[in-house]
């Protein structure tokens, strides 16, 4: 059994702690069992490891998230990046092609596709195990997870079981209803409908056949190259709604979408994360401070205050849902980015220059950085290593060293000890 | 007539926009007649210029405020810096010695001492003019401004006129009562007492005689050198409370202490200063953003949100008075400083380095900067000029130039056009 985690999304609903390079699933604020904090995707991958230790994980994502995924998950997962953002059907088609053609999985291999950011308990993963069993037993071509509804939400998609199936451990599916009115939702729930949790299990050959209708590629490389030929459509519309044989398994444990500050706040460990003082810890205000500046909250109640190199948010918890409309108006260039080798944080911008604090982990390499648009000055603050500049050879680096990179040059830094440097782009 | 403006105070009550190098009187958030913003001290000096154009202004302050005073007031005022912070009596003694020995003012010269941060209307300065007249006419040795009380405040000092004096334009003073209880204050007000506005007028010779009891200095330089011999005591205790002949003139116009965010907020031009969005401008929340980061307020009400390179404050307006107790716990090193030649803003700090964005005005010189404790790297972002490094001569500077200053060297930058640079201190 293979798991494909879908990692997409923009960073607008948890701004400014998330941004375009660091969607909500990468925000490291949840309490981890080790006593520190972990992100939603780190939590899900940890839970998979705990409940299904033999299960390989492949992450389907966009190029922009490659760095942060490597930074947060290391080498324990495979990563398939889409050449361009399309929709969930092409993304899943590409990831299953990777399993078939690069990992040589057989057509009978059970594949489970799931989102990378639900906040759940381990029972969720036990349900996934039973879904895989149902696929293996040919209960249906496509097996879904149905979340047992707790209220008549108009925001979810509903999976409607066939008449007489309600209460069975594996129910045959009649159809789907996307975001019904509240009245309609209540009626559906009374008839046994479940929320569509976005978790799908199927045999690899099933998805191969569907993909084959659009493209016959001889290799994963060819598939990736011709990615633009796949239709921009969701997996729900292209596969689930057209499927002839669908079953659903119910899940009734903890299942939350921590996609807004209001919902995330309930899961945060205490009222302050980062360098912050809240005068009254019982006031309901919560602070996430990643800005490097001291932060004080005095006499406030029921606020979310979040600060990062990207900006500062002060919001009443009840009004957090309106965040996106305002963030859309702000500059989208992320000022904090994580990579497999370290991180970059913009500390100053002026009309003529951008100044960035760069951290490079011990024994890492930045890969080639092209300075096509600007010259830059690197001042090493701490650490040891070297820089290779195209046409100029290798120069040893240590604290106090200053390197000028001319416009048009490329450079790559390799460290022996963890390094910090200031880069001024002119 | 000469005016001495007392400029002291710490920056804690308007943190993080004020700091130890930029007390509340230097916070540039008040609307100015030219359409921009001005600080409290800029406002007072402008009002003096408008109402008493022939009056010289001397500012008595500490060394730490020299830069910001030059930056905000230019060369239009004289500045007397105390060699060490003591109290208002020695500060006023030093400033009057400056008038006597450096400006050669006669013993008959009328001197008015006043705070640099009251928010008043021009009638305040008309009252000061009448106080000077009263001193000139020998109505008393010491003439005070009495603010007509609007409520029985226990926070002010009260000036109590002699019996039968109430209602006269110039009243002889019976005595003083410091911060009475509310009941006592109400009783005092009923008897005609006024708030002590901290404005004092006297002839220069009067103060010279009092100073002479502690020190006979032959020059202003000697006075400054022996400054530590003057007692650490306030002008109120040392002079006003001991004076035999005191009069008070009432003032009943606008007079406000904008010393806390709550009082300052009422005078701010609108709900946002700086790069900020408040979703509902009618919500009573006000933002002052000098941080360089975008700031969003959503669904909040009645908050002060202030951000600067020194930190971030989110406070309910009713609770702003508690700010100082929390700011006392924070690091006191200012991260933003203004100078006569420009400004410095810390943009990044790490264990091994401090990175600063430096702006130098056109045609200015930084004066000698000693790099005794650290080496540093200067990267010029924009502008032209030169740097003189002790023992290394003069080097021409332009955008992209990088200068390494070795520990122990001193350097001075002189600009021909406005310059921006990044300094990394190691």
Establish if A159 belongs to a structural domain: yes
Contact status, residue B365 vs residue A358, Cβ threshold 8 Å: no
Which residues of chain A are within 8 Å of residue B426 when distances are taken between CB atoms? 379, 381, 399-400
- The reply to whether A307 and A349 lie within a common domain is no
For chain B positions 224-243, those within 8 Å of chain A (CB to CB) are none
* Domain count across chain A: 3
Distance from CA of A337 to the nearest CA of B (A): 16
Distances (CA, A) of B420 to A252, A320, B69, B96, B344: 60, 38, 21, 39, 10
Contact B424 A379 (CB under 8 A): yes
Establish if B333 belongs to a structural domain: no
Question: Chain A contact for B378, CB < 8 A?
Answer: no
Cβ-Cβ contacts under 8 Å for B164 (sequence gap 6 or more): none
Provide the 8-state DSSP code for B162: P
Map residue B48 onto helix, strand or coil.
helix
Contact A326 B399 (CB under 8 A): no
Of all residues in chain A, what percent carry a pLDDT higher than 90? 79
Contact A296 B326 (CB under 8 A): yes
Contact A422 B424 (CB under 8 A): yes
- The reply to whether A317 and A363 lie within a common domain is no
Over 80: is that where the pLDDT of B10 sits? Answer: no
Nearest CA in chain A to B298: A315
To test the contact with chain B by mutation, choose from A16, A278, A295, A298 the residue with the greatest count of B C-beta atoms within 10 A, namely: A298
Question: Chain B contact for A406, CB < 8 A?
Answer: no
Contact A420 B353 (CB under 8 A): yes
Contact B402 A377 (CB under 8 A): yes
At A232-248, the pLDDT tens digits run 999 999 999 999 999 99
Cβ-Cβ contacts under 8 Å for A257 (sequence gap 6 or more): A117, A118, A119, A263
**Cα A355 to chain centroid, rounded:** 28
Establish if B247 belongs to a structural domain: yes
For chain B positions 280-319, those within 8 Å of chain A (CB to CB) are 285, 289, 291-301, 303, 305, 307, 309-316, 318-319
Write down the pLDDT at residue A258.
86
Question: Chain A contact for B322, CB < 8 A?
Answer: yes
Which residues of chain B are within 8 Å of residue A409 when distances are taken between CB atoms? none
Which CATH number does the domain housing residue A113 bear? 3.90.550.10
Write down the pLDDT at residue B337.
87
Q: Strands A419-425 and A37-38: what pairing?
A: unpaired
Write down the pLDDT at residue A22.
81
Distance from CA of B268 to the nearest CA of A (A): 20
Residue scoring higher pLDDT (A256 or B249): B249
Q: Supply the mean pLDDT for chain A.
A: 93
- The reply to whether B228 and B321 lie within a common domain is no
Beta bridge partners of A382: A420
Provide the 8-state DSSP code for A186: H
pLDDT tier at A113, thresholds 50, 70, 90: very high
pLDDT tier at B297, thresholds 50, 70, 90: very high
Q: How many CB pairs under 8 A join A and B?
A: 200
Contact status, residue A421 vs residue B422, Cβ threshold 8 Å: no
Nearest to B293 among A312, A345, A375 (CB): A312
Q: State how far the Cα of B362 lies from the Cα of B420, in Å rounded to an integer.
A: 10
What mean pLDDT do residues A211-227 have?
95
Contact B291 A293 (CB under 8 A): yes
Which CATH number does the domain housing residue A396 bear? 2.60.120.10
Nearest to A299 among B291, B319, B377 (CB): B319
| Strand (E) or helix (H) holding B420 | strand B419-425
At A398-417, the pLDDT tens digits run 999 999 999 999 999 999 99
Joined together, the tokens standing for residue B404 give: 């390494």
Within a 10 A sphere around the Cβ of B190, how many other Cβ atoms?
Answer: 9
Nearest CA in chain A to B399: A426
Over 80: is that where the pLDDT of B11 sits? Answer: no
Contact status, residue A345 vs residue A335, Cβ threshold 8 Å: yes
Nearest to B311 among A15, A293, A313 (CB): A293
**Cα A261 to chain centroid, rounded:** 16
Structural domain for A358, as ranges: 341-425
Contact status, residue A344 vs residue A358, Cβ threshold 8 Å: yes
- The reply to whether A25 and A108 lie within a common domain is yes
Contact status, residue A42 vs residue A119, Cβ threshold 8 Å: no
Contact B355 A348 (CB under 8 A): yes
Question: Chain A contact for B326, CB < 8 A?
Answer: yes
What is the crossing angle of helices A40-51 and A123-136, to 10°? 60
Which residue in A409, A277, A240, A164 sits closest to B329, CA to CA?
A277
pLDDT tier at B113, thresholds 50, 70, 90: very high
Contact A381 B319 (CB under 8 A): no
Torsion of CA A311, A316, A318, A323, to 10 degrees: -20
What mean pLDDT do residues A51-69 have?
92
Establish if A334 belongs to a structural domain: no
Establish if B121 belongs to a structural domain: yes
Write down the pLDDT at residue A166.
83
Over 80: is that where the pLDDT of A11 sits? Answer: no
Establish if B239 belongs to a structural domain: yes
Which residues of chain B are within 8 Å of residue A279 when distances are taken between CB atoms? 319, 322, 326
Write down the pLDDT at residue A180.
95
Looking at this predicted complex, what is its ipTM?
A: 0.85
Distance from CA of B308 to the nearest CA of A (A): 9
- The reply to whether A63 and A183 lie within a common domain is yes
- The reply to whether A30 and A74 lie within a common domain is yes
Q: Is B373 exposed, middle or buried (0-12, 13-18, 19+ CB in 10 A)?
A: exposed
Establish if B409 belongs to a structural domain: yes
Q: CA triplet A242, A246, A249: central angle to 5 degrees? A: 140
User: In the block, which residue shows the tokens 């011999």?
Assistant: B229
Distance from CA of A405 to the nearest CA of B (A): 10
Q: State how far the Cα of A392 lies from the Cα of A395, in Å rounded to an integer.
A: 8
User: For chain A, what is the radius of gyration of the CA atoms?
Assistant: 24
Cβ-Cβ contacts under 8 Å for A164 (sequence gap 6 or more): none
Distances (CA, A) of A167 to A129, A164, A190: 19, 8, 12
At B327-372, the pLDDT tens digits run 888 877 888 888 889 999 999 988 889 999 999 999 999 999 999 8
- The reply to whether A243 and A274 lie within a common domain is no
Which residues of chain A are within 8 Å of residue B299 when distances are taken between CB atoms? 315-316, 318-320, 322
- The reply to whether A226 and A274 lie within a common domain is no
Distance from CA of A116 to the nearest CA of B (A): 28
- The reply to whether B253 and B285 lie within a common domain is no
Contact B352 A382 (CB under 8 A): yes
Contact status, residue B425 vs residue B353, Cβ threshold 8 Å: yes
Contact A299 B292 (CB under 8 A): no
pLDDT tier at A184, thresholds 50, 70, 90: very high
- The reply to whether A28 and A168 lie within a common domain is yes
Which residues of chain B are within 8 Å of residue A294 when distances are taken between CB atoms? 16, 310-312, 330-331
Domain boundary among B302, B327, B352: B327
To test the contact with chain A by mutation, choose from B274, B299, B360 the residue with the greatest count of A C-beta atoms within 10 A, namely: B299
Nearest to A350 among B277, B313, B381 (CB): B381
At B200-243, the pLDDT tens digits run 999 999 999 999 999 999 999 999 999 999 999 999 999 999 99
Q: State how far the Cα of A365 lies from the Cα of A16, in Å rounded to an integer.
A: 28
Nearest to B316 among A15, A300, A331 (CB): A300
Write down the pLDDT at residue A125.
97
At A27-38, the pLDDT tens digits run 988 999 988 899
At B116-165, the pLDDT tens digits run 989 999 999 999 999 999 999 999 999 999 999 999 999 899 999 999 99
Write down the pLDDT at residue A75.
86
Which residue in A327, A372, A367, A358 sits closest to A422, CA to CA?
A358
Nearest to A352 among B292, B331, B399 (CB): B399
What mean pLDDT do residues B16-37 have?
88
Nearest to A426 among B300, B323, B400 (CB): B400
Write down the pLDDT at residue A36.
87
For chain B positions 348-377, those within 8 Å of chain A (CB to CB) are 348-353, 355, 357, 375, 377
Joined together, the tokens standing for residue A241 give: 């709604």
Establish if A262 belongs to a structural domain: no
What mean pLDDT do residues A131-135 have?
97
Distance from CA of B197 to the nearest CA of A (A): 30
Contact status, residue A264 vs residue A285, Cβ threshold 8 Å: no
- The reply to whether A163 and A49 lie within a common domain is yes
Contact status, residue B387 vs residue B395, Cβ threshold 8 Å: yes
Q: Strands A286-289 and A303-308: what pairing?
A: parallel
- The reply to whether B249 and B276 lie within a common domain is no
Q: Supply the mean pLDDT for chain B.
A: 93
At B178-202, the pLDDT tens digits run 999 999 999 999 999 999 999 999 9
To test the contact with chain A by mutation, choose from B312, B378, B402 the residue with the greatest count of A C-beta atoms within 10 A, namely: B312
At B262-295, the pLDDT tens digits run 889 988 888 999 999 999 989 999 999 998 899 9
Q: State how far the Cα of B225 lies from the Cα of B239, in Å rounded to an integer.
A: 23
């Amino acid at each position: 059994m293979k798991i494909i985690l879908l990692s997409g999304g923009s960073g607008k609903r948890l701004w400014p702690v998330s941004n375009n390079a660091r969607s909500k699933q990468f925000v490291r604020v949840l309490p981890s069992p080790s006593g520190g904090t972990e992100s939603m995707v780190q939590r899900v991958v940890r839970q998979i490891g705990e409940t299904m230790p033999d299960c390989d994980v492949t992450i389907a994502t966009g190029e922009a998230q490659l760095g942060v995924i490597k930074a947060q998950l290391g080498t324990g997962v495979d990563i398939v990046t889409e050449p361009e953002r399309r929709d969930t059907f092409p993304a899943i088609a590409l990831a299953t092609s990777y399993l078939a053609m690069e990992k040589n999985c057989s057509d009978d291999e059970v594949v489970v596709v799931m989102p990378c950011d639900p906040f759940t308990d381990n029972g969720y993963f036990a349900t996934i195990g039973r879904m895989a069993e149902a696929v293996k037993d040919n209960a249906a071509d496509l097996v879904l997870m149905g979340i047992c509804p707790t209220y008549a939400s108009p925001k979810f998609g509903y999976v409607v079981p066939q008449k007489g199936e309600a209460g069975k451990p594996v129910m045959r599916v009649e159809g789907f209803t996307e975001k019904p009115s509240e009245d309609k939702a209540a009626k559906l729930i009374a008839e046994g409908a479940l929320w569509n949790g976005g978790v799908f299990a199927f045999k690899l050959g099933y998805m191969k056949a569907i993909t084959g209708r659009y493209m016959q590629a001889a290799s994963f490389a060819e598939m990736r190259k011709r990615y633009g030929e796949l239709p921009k459509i969701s997996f729900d519309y292209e596969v689930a709604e057209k499927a002839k044989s669908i079953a659903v398994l119910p899940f009734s444990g903890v299942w939350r979408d921590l996609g807004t500050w209001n919902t995330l706040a309930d899961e945060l460990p205490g009222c302050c994360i980062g360098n912050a003082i809240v005068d009254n810890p019982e006031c309901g205000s919560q602070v996430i401070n990643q800005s490097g500046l001291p932060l004080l909250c005095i006499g406030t109640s029921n606020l979310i205050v979040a600060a990062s190199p990207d900006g500062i948010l002060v919001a009443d918890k009840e009004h957090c849902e309106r965040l996106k409309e305002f963030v859309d108006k702000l500059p989208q260039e992320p000022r904090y980015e994580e990579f497999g080798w370290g991180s970059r944080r913009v500390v100053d911008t002026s009309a003529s220059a951008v100044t960035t604090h760069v951290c490079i982990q011990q024994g890492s390499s930045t890969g080639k950085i092209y300075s096509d648009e600007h010259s830059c000055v690197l001042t090493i603050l701490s650490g040891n290593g070297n820089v290779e500049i195209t046409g100029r050879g290798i120069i040893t680096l240590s604290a106090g060293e200053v390197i000028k990179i001319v416009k048009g040059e490329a450079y790559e830094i390799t460290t022996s000890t963890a390094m910090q440097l200031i880069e001024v782009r002119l």
